Structure 1
Amino acid sequence: MSILITGATGLLGRAIYAQCQAQFPTLDIIGTGFSRAQAPLVQLDLNDAAAVRAFFAKYQPSVVIHAAAERKPDVCENDPEQTLALNVETSRLLAELCHEQQSRLFFISTDYVFDGKNAPYAENATPNPLNFYGKSKMMAEQAIVAINPSHTIIRVPVLYGEVEYLAESAVTVIAQQIQQNPQSSHDHWAVRYPTHVADVAQTIADLIALPAAQSAGIFHVSDSQAMTKYDMACVIAAALGQNASSLVAVPEPTQSAARPYNCALKDTRLKQLGIVHSRKFDVAIQQIITRS
């Protein structure tokens, strides 16, 4: 048995790769990336369907965790063709290959499949994305379910964790912004639920350890601390030893791609399984910033 992780060079992918190595030491853990892939990770262009098919035939993974994606909403809005290719068509192909070889697929989706008007959202809530990123993830979910409803869809909110550089995540980039400008402005409108990638990785590993029937369908993985980016900035400023009172709260959305107001995810199914991993944001973010 082997586990294949796409996007293993990314923030979440690295955490999943490390967790799978720790939790499944007897299995072959195969991580792929593209421009940043270095041994032991394998370079794979997910936009090259023939290369993906050949890779799949060579390694024949029993489990595939598809963490690679274009996640920046503004980038997705400005390049819909590339977004569809990576976020939708690659996901469809992997779902087909997994179905053909009877492999388990774990697809990483997003809370942005919802419009943020009726939070909290249960796993069976009807998606209604506001931006193209959310729409592409919804389309990928639909394609995967159409191929095999037993595949697993993991929806997550904004993520943070151990970064290679501060701008790598939408959370830790706030530290960079504060360092560059102690009077920087931050969104104080959208409500978010920052979740540590290590907790998501642990959750996915726990689901892999279950029988396939128990891990089928949609799962929501989210911490429960509601924060705007301004709230996060205040915590991060304190971690940096700076005065949070100098920060500017922006009470309305400013990004080019529409963001939902509140996409709180209810993790009902995980709680029923007894799978709950979380941590305090202020403690975790200070540890990350201190090491960055």
Structure 2
Amino acid sequence: MQKLLVTGASGFLGWHVCQLANLNWEVYGTFWTNSIEIPHTKMLKVNLTDFQELQQIFSEIQPVAVIHTAAQSQPNYCQNHPEETYATNVIVSHNIAGLCADHYIPCVFTSTDLVFDGLNSPYRETDPVCPVNKYGEQKVMAELGMLERYPLTAVCRMPLMFGAATPTATSFIQPFIQTLKEGKELKLFTDEFRTPVSANTAAKGLLLALEKVQGIIHLGGKERISRYDFGRLLVEILQLPTTGLKACLQQDVKMSAPRPSDVSLDSSQAFALGYQPLSLESEVAELIGK
């Protein structure tokens, strides 16, 4: 089997990519702080911000393709630590695109729906970017620099993702479910809209992009939904108590990073290529085994 390098394999999305990719690839996954084992994946401790170390990994493994999921993806953390996260989110991404260009191999990059300001959804690939926080700004800089260095890069803008907990990460639904099961109050925004997908669907999209995409593609789901309505869906499917679920507005919660109100993605280009997210109800039911 051919060799695939997945950066950030210990992260939520990277872990799901490795689980799926190792069916058809010899997978090498990088981690830095969280050492984990993934079946059929060779895990490597790599400081991606050290260019010589990164170069060495490419030389030693000689991958035929790269999926770059490693990032500091917490908007509030990026807002408060802009220099540290710039190195991870921007410089590392540029360097990976450069190395993929040097070896002339496919490169897939995971960007975000937060490159948009939330005022003109649903967003197509050709719509102008206008991020409202540092994380979104860093992803825009990463996109531009990667495509400049290597125009064949597949820049995949990812939506809000949910899924099974990994050894080192949970998605937003695990704490949601735990809070509701304990009968505690869970406040969710009625005025923040996304097009979510499960991490498993997202991983399928990234592997599809590896084969078929050059340039920017959106890998959102088929349904636009608010955080609050997503919470209601969980309550319904899991038959949880509804008493703790409360509606609130973005302005009710103080956060370091500003948040756009509606970054729903138009992913019809990806759908035409064979990317097929299920309905949210089906995705959630499948996840919890219902």
Amino acid at match of 2:120: N
Amino acid at match of 1:18: Q
Report SS of the residue matched to 2:193.
Answer: coil
Q: 1:16 to 1:265 in 2, by over 3 A?
A: same
Report SS of the residue matched to 1:121.
Answer: coil
Contact 1:166–1:175, Cα closer than 8 Å, also in 2: no
The 1-side partners of 2:113 and 2:243 are apart by 30
The 1-side partners of 2:110 and 2:117 are apart by 18
2:198 counterpart of 1:220: no
2:275 counterpart of 1:276: yes
| Range that drifts further, 73-82 or 245-254 | 245-254
The 2-side partners of 1:75 and 1:107 are apart by 21
Contact 2:117–2:131, Cα closer than 8 Å, also in 1: yes
Specify the alignment match of 1:104 in structure 2: 106
CA root-mean-square deviation: 2.1
2:83 counterpart of 1:85: no
Deviation for aligned residue 1:134 = 0.5
Deviation for aligned residue 1:209 = 3.3
Contact 2:237–2:285, Cα closer than 8 Å, also in 1: yes
Specify the alignment match of 2:14 in structure 1: 13
Contact 1:172–1:289, Cα closer than 8 Å, also in 2: no
The 2-side partners of 1:125 and 1:76 are apart by 24
Specify the alignment match of 2:235 in structure 1: 237
TM-score, normalization: structure 2? 0.90
Structure 1 residue runs of 4+, over 4 Å off?
none
Q: 1:9 to 1:167 in 2, by over 3 A?
A: closer
TM-score, normalization: structure 1? 0.90
Aligned pair partner of 1:73 in 61, 72, 75: 75
Q: Percent identity?
A: 27
Specify the alignment match of 2:263 in structure 1: 263
Report SS of the residue matched to 1:244.
Answer: coil
Amino acid at match of 1:265: L
| Range that drifts further, 42-51 or 88-97 | 42-51
Specify the alignment match of 2:192 in structure 1: 190
Contact 1:220–1:266, Cα closer than 8 Å, also in 2: yes
Amino acid at match of 2:29: G
Specify the alignment match of 1:37 in structure 2: 35
Q: 1:256 to 1:38 in 2, by over 3 A?
A: closer
The 1-side partners of 2:152 and 2:166 are apart by 35
Report SS of the residue matched to 1:5.
Answer: strand
Deviations 1:10-35 (A, max 9, x none): 2111121122112x2xx422111122
Deviations 1:174-212 (A, max 9, x none): 2233234532211111012221111111122223334xx
Contact 1:6–1:68, Cα closer than 8 Å, also in 2: yes
Amino acid at match of 2:7: T
Deviation for aligned residue 1:148 = 1.5
Report SS of the residue matched to 1:127.
Answer: coil
Deviation for aligned residue 1:166 = 10
Q: 1:114 to 1:272 in 2, by over 3 A?
A: same
Q: Structure 2: where are the runs of 5+ without partners?
A: none
Aligned pair partner of 1:155 in 144, 153, 157: 157
Q: 1:19 to 1:166 in 2, by over 3 A?
A: closer
Contact 2:7–2:14, Cα closer than 8 Å, also in 1: yes
Deviations 1:98-138 (A, max 9, x none): 11111211000000000010111111111100011100100
Q: How does 1:277-292 map to 2 (within 5 A)?
A: 277-289=276-288
Contact 2:118–2:263, Cα closer than 8 Å, also in 1: yes
The 2-side partners of 1:69 and 1:109 are apart by 9
Q: 1:51 to 1:171 in 2, by over 3 A?
A: same
Deviation for aligned residue 1:289 = 4.8
The 2-side partners of 1:230 and 1:267 are apart by 23
